[in-house]
Amino acid sequence: MAMNESTVSSLLEDLRATDETIRDRATRDLWRLWFEQKGSLGLEALRRAQLLLELRDFGRAVELLNQLISQQPDFAEAWNRRAVLHYVQGKYWEAIADCEEVIRLNPIHFGALHGLGLCYIALGNYAAAIQTFHTALKVQPFSLENQRLILECTLKLS
């Protein structure tokens, strides 16, 4: 599946479908497009980084992602994976910077938008989190998780 604009537009449309099966397939297909953006070498590097993350070998994981990002600076998913790595380690400002780069490269990246919101929650900036989750809902309107987080943040502000 190539990442051309008509494919992406069609998948974005499917994220708005009332049928959950259609939405789930579109979500999976978008993730696949993002992961496979740079072909099998990029995908393999992301998989290795994920494995290192799961093994809690953060040093080697970040090294691998830094290398991937310097070789392929427009590979949004590499930035997104590094954002996840920073988030897991409690490095929220670094994670925010990487999420913002993902969103600059791929404004519809609901994963990075969600992650950005989680970083703002971790920093206690509930207003920014709410705004970010609302942006994510423009892409993925049926995301119950983002709707729930908006409610939680709203309660914290009241």
Is residue 18 a part of any domain in this protein? no
Interior angle at CA 131, CA 128 and CA 135, nearest 5? 135
Global pTM value: 0.94
Is residue 118 a part of any domain in this protein? yes
- Using pLDDT thresholds of 50, 70 and 90, give the confidence band for residue 5: confident
Which pLDDT score is estimated for 4?
Answer: 79
pLDDT cut 70: percent of the chain above it: 98
Which pLDDT score is estimated for 47?
Answer: 96
- Read off the pLDDT of residues 54-99 as tens digits, 9 standing for 90 and up: 999 999 999 999 999 999 999 999 999 999 999 999 999 999 999 9
Contact 126, 153 (CB under 8 A): yes
The helix (H) or strand (E) run that includes residue 3 is none
Amino acid residing at 87: Y
Is residue 114 a part of any domain in this protein? yes
Interior angle at CA 35, CA 29 and CA 37, nearest 5? 95
Is residue 134 a part of any domain in this protein? yes
Which pLDDT score is estimated for 112?
Answer: 98
Is residue 149 a part of any domain in this protein? yes
Is residue 154 a part of any domain in this protein? yes
Q: Which two tokens stand for residue 80?
A: 């997104």
Q: Is residue 2's pLDDT more than 60?
A: no
Q: Is residue 101's pLDDT more than 60?
A: yes
- Read off the pLDDT of residues 25-51 as tens digits, 9 standing for 90 and up: 999 999 999 999 999 999 999 999 999
Distance of CA 54 to the CA centre of its chain: 17
Is residue 57 a part of any domain in this protein? no
How many domains does the chain contain in total?
1
Is residue 155 a part of any domain in this protein? yes
pLDDT cut 90: percent of the chain above it: 96
Cα-based distances in Å from 54 to 49, 77, 129: 9, 17, 26
Which pLDDT score is estimated for 34?
Answer: 96
Tokens 């072909």 sit on residue: 39
Which pLDDT score is estimated for 3?
Answer: 60
Q: What is the CATH number of the domain that holds 149?
A: 1.25.40.10
Full residue range of the structural domain in which residue 139 is found: 107-158
Q: Is residue 1's pLDDT more than 90?
A: no
- Using pLDDT thresholds of 50, 70 and 90, give the confidence band for residue 119: very high
